[in-house]
Each structure stands twice: as structure tokens, then as C-alpha cells.
Chains A and B, each alone.
Chain A
């Protein structure tokens, strides 16, 4: 299990919680600053295992910042400072003892714009596994990842062609296959379909539902209908009076989109603000 890799970097006196519980990631009192800007304030929620969690909210409310915190991508921004706990398999990934590269191997990410490497389709998938010292059969790994990303049938006869030769939707699925090659158990998606046409979008959405059988998915989306279609849980963020991103409401998607508890959620998802 890949998560063991994370655990091995911990000293023995740190607690390791029950990794079989329904909660995959537990976020507690998360604060993110960019320099003097307090971008996200006091965010607490749980990400359920093998389910799709959608993060929604108006522009600038911090949902992408929260997403990036989950695999320490904010470390790459020099002015960013992250406080609070993000527990994954029972360990706090913000612990200085944790290697962020290992975190990102376990918690993969797919971005808004498909960004395949300027390499062959095959190498796009194999590359990460190669540098991580994959010892098994590479052909099998590549095929397996492309199949799980629902793109194998479309590319199996042109694996040596450039990943950039594919359509936008295919490129995005290739990027998902590439993420799967690192054997993560969580995949973060930052508006993964916003640059795609409607058919490609629906394919990505179908894929998300399929992947959720084995992976935990957290997706940021501006598309309310997409959040309603693909996610099991929805977390709504907004801005407080100090223009800081705060969590307003989290709950089962079916409830959030038919009967949200908070008037601010109602106003946002019915398109009356934001």
C-alpha cells in the first residue's frame, strides 16, 4: 500500500490512526496565508474514502488553495504559509518531517488545463513510474493505467505518438492515467473539465465516478451541475467580511443541491450571488 511510504518517514512516537476508517483525509483548522494575505481561514472538514468530494464557491474563496494544501502544492509558492492539520492515513502531512514529494506521489493531481509532457503517450504514463523505480512490467502498468483512465481503446494503436497529438479531452484522460501510474489513493482535480467541450466533459465525469470505486477524489469545480452530477459530498466555501475564504457548509451533495442549510449556500447555488 502506497500510504505505508508516508508512514515510514515518521518517527515511531507519532500516532498512526486507523487507516481503514471511512475518512480518507481529515482537515482541521486549516489556515493559508500568501504573504500578508490571509487567504483561507479556519477550514475543517473530512474527505470520505473512495468517494467524490466537490469543493465549490465563488472565485477567490480559497477552494483551489485548500485543494493544493491537500498534497502540499502550496509549498511551491514561496510566500505561502500553511497552518493547521491535514491528516492522511492518520499522519499530519504538514508535519515538517514529511517529504512533500512522497505526499504528492500518494495524492495525485490533475489540473485545469491538460498538461501532458511533450513525449509519447506511452512515456507520459511510464515516466513517473520509471523515476520512482518501478520494478514490474512497464507495458502492463501503462496499459492498466490507460485502461483505468478510460482512454486505452483510443490510444492503444498509437502509443508512440506524442501525447500532444491527442484532443483536449484525451489529453486530460492521459494526464489522469499519468497520475494513476504513481499508485496514489487520492486524486485531486482542479477544474479538470473547464477547458473541455461538453462531450469530453461528460467522459471525464463518467471517469471520475468510475475511479471513485477505488480512489478518493477531491474536485474543484465552478460548474454547479457538474458538482451535482459527480460528487457524493459537497463543500461550499465563500468569503467573509475580511475577504478570507471560509467554509460555509459541507454535506451530502443530494442535500446541498436540494435543501442547503445555509442561506448563503442557497443564494450561491441558485445563482443569486457569486
Chain B
């Protein structure tokens, strides 16, 4: 392939770099939110809430940049799909940042209450979700369809853990109605982490779309 469209290639690489940077910001937000949850660290939770503004701003800047690339470079075919995927991926990342904020708000709201139980499965869900996130960003940069397909299958692990957490918290509620409020809110935390897995799945679907043009969700 002759070395033409170098400027466009440079701009596309810069867009991909922005996606990876935003992914790191979100990964860090999730890590801190779950740390705050485990240690009931309200200050750390407040920091997660505050830093989400940076994530939101970074998302709009990246969309602006992608819009500019479309307007000035008029990309087509695989190039167009790559840029379109950036729009979609930053939206999912931004929402993942919101999930981290929801978890942090739970910590801020409930830190004064006695913990319902020792948290094991929720941090494990976060761990898997974050691994999936980091792997999906690597797959995005490399256009690795096989990796994207493998990552998607890991969402089942997150879903299974969420189901387990929900069942366990239900037993608490049945045993002691006084725990209903705290248990319900903890299930909401689990739901946020479960959604992280779903959003990584979206990212992987975009990786596949960018590389192949296929829009079907893999079976």
C-alpha cells in the first residue's frame, strides 16, 4: 500500500489514542468506586463523582474531534466505520463512568450505616468488568475481531456473579426485613457492575463492526 493519506492516518490514530485515554479514565473511576465501596471511603467516592466531569468533558472533546475528521477528511468504507465506532465507544465509556458514579454515590449515602455483609462477589464483578474493558480497548486499537469475540463471552461470568449476588441478598431480605433497604441498594450496585459488562460487549461489537462491517451480535 502506498503511503498516502498520512494526515488522515495520523488523525485516526489520534482518535484511537483518545479512546484509549478515556478508557483508562473510566477504568480508574471503576477501580476507585469499588475500592471506596470495599473500604467505605467517602472521600475517595467523592473524588470519583468529581472526576466524572473530566470524563464527560473528554467524551465531548473526542466527539468534536471525530466530527472534525469526518468534515475535513470525508472518510469512507473501513475508515468511516472506524470513526463512527469512536462515537459509539465514547458513549459507552461515558455511561460506564456514570456507573462508577452511581456506585460512589451509594458509598456516600450509606457509609454511616453498618455494612450488610463482607463484599466478595461485587469486587470480583468489577475486576472482570475492568479486565474486559482493558482487553476491549486493546482489541479496538489492533482491530482484533477474535479478541473482541472472546471478550464478549466473558460477560456471562459477570452476569452469573450478579445473579449470585442478587440471590444472596434476597435471602438476607427474607431473613430480616430490616435489611431490605440496604440489600436493595446493594443489588443496584451489582446492577451497575453488570451493566459495565454489557457496555464492554457494545464496545466489542463496534470493534467487529469497524473491522468487518458486520453489525450482528455474535451468537
CB contact under 8 A between A271 and B5, given known A225-B74, A259-B213: yes
- Segment with Cβ contacts to B, from A85-93, A100-108, A192-200, A262-270: A262-270
Q: Which of B194-214 contact A (CB under 8 A)?
A: 212-213
Please state if A228 and B81 are interface contacts (CB–CB under 8 Å).
Answer: no
Please state if A258 and B77 are interface contacts (CB–CB under 8 Å).
Answer: yes
Q: How far is the CA of A260 from the CA of B77 in the complex (A)?
A: 7
The residues of A that contact B79 with a CB separation of less than 8 Å are: 270
Please state if A270 and B5 are interface contacts (CB–CB under 8 Å).
Answer: yes
Q: Which of B1-52 contact A (CB under 8 A)?
A: 1-2, 4-5, 8
**B123 in contact (CB, < 8 A):** no
**Which B residues form the contact surface with A (CB < 8 A)?**
1-2, 4-5, 8, 74-81, 212-213
The residues of A that contact B2 with a CB separation of less than 8 Å are: 272-273
Q: How far is the CA of A260 from the CA of B1 in the complex (A)?
A: 17
B179 to chain A, nearest CB (A): 53
Please state if A258 and B81 are interface contacts (CB–CB under 8 Å).
Answer: yes
Query: Which of A224, A225, A259, A272 is within 8 Å of B4, CB to CB?
Result: A272
The residues of A that contact B77 with a CB separation of less than 8 Å are: 257-260, 265-266, 269-270
Query: Which of B5, B76, B212 is within 8 Å of A228, CB to CB?
Result: B76
Q: Which of A225-274 contact B (CB under 8 A)?
A: 225, 228, 257-260, 265-267, 269-273
Q: How far is the CA of A158 from the CA of B94 in the complex (A)?
A: 60
The residues of A that contact B4 with a CB separation of less than 8 Å are: 271-273
CB contact under 8 A between A258 and B213, given known A266-B77, A269-B77, A271-B8: yes
The residues of A that contact B74 with a CB separation of less than 8 Å are: 224-225
The residues of A that contact B1 with a CB separation of less than 8 Å are: 267, 272-273
Q: How far is the CA of A257 from the CA of B74 in the complex (A)?
A: 11
Q: Which of A107-160 contact B (CB under 8 A)?
A: none
Please state if A257 and B80 are interface contacts (CB–CB under 8 Å).
Answer: yes
The residues of A that contact B5 with a CB separation of less than 8 Å are: 270-272
Please state if A224 and B76 are interface contacts (CB–CB under 8 Å).
Answer: yes
Q: How far is the CA of A271 from the CA of B8 in the complex (A)?
A: 10
Which residue of chain B lies nearest to A256 when distances are taken between CB atoms in the complex? B77
Apart from A224-B76, A259-B81, 19 more pairs, CB < 8 Å: A224-B74, A257-B77, A258-B76, A258-B77, A258-B80, A259-B77, A259-B212, A259-B213, A265-B77, A266-B77, A267-B1, A269-B77, A270-B76, A270-B77, A270-B79, A272-B1, A272-B4, A273-B1, A273-B2
The residues of B that contact A267 with a CB separation of less than 8 Å are: 1
Q: How far is the CA of A228 from the CA of B213 in the complex (A)?
A: 17
The residues of B that contact A273 with a CB separation of less than 8 Å are: 1-2, 4
The residues of B that contact A270 with a CB separation of less than 8 Å are: 5, 75-79
Q: How far is the CA of A265 from the CA of B212 in the complex (A)?
A: 14
9 A-B residue pairs with Cβ-Cβ distance under 8 Å, sorted by A, are A224-B76, A228-B76, A257-B76, A258-B213, A259-B212, A259-B213, A260-B77, A270-B5, A270-B75
B36 to chain A, nearest CB (A): 43
Which residue of chain A lies nearest to B213 when distances are taken between CB atoms in the complex? A259
A9 to chain B, nearest CB (A): 43
CB contact under 8 A between A266 and B78, given known A258-B213, A271-B4: yes
The residues of A that contact B80 with a CB separation of less than 8 Å are: 257-258
Q: How far is the CA of A270 from the CA of B80 in the complex (A)?
A: 9
The residues of B that contact A259 with a CB separation of less than 8 Å are: 77, 81, 212-213
The residues of B that contact A257 with a CB separation of less than 8 Å are: 76-77, 80
Which residue of chain B lies nearest to A225 when distances are taken between CB atoms in the complex? B74
A249 to chain B, nearest CB (A): 11
Which residue of chain B lies nearest to A257 when distances are taken between CB atoms in the complex? B76
Q: How far is the CA of A110 from the CA of B215 in the complex (A)?
A: 40
Q: How far is the CA of A259 from the CA of B75 in the complex (A)?
A: 12
A127 to chain B, nearest CB (A): 40
Q: How far is the CA of A28 from the CA of B74 in the complex (A)?
A: 34
Q: How far is the CA of A258 from the CA of B74 in the complex (A)?
A: 12
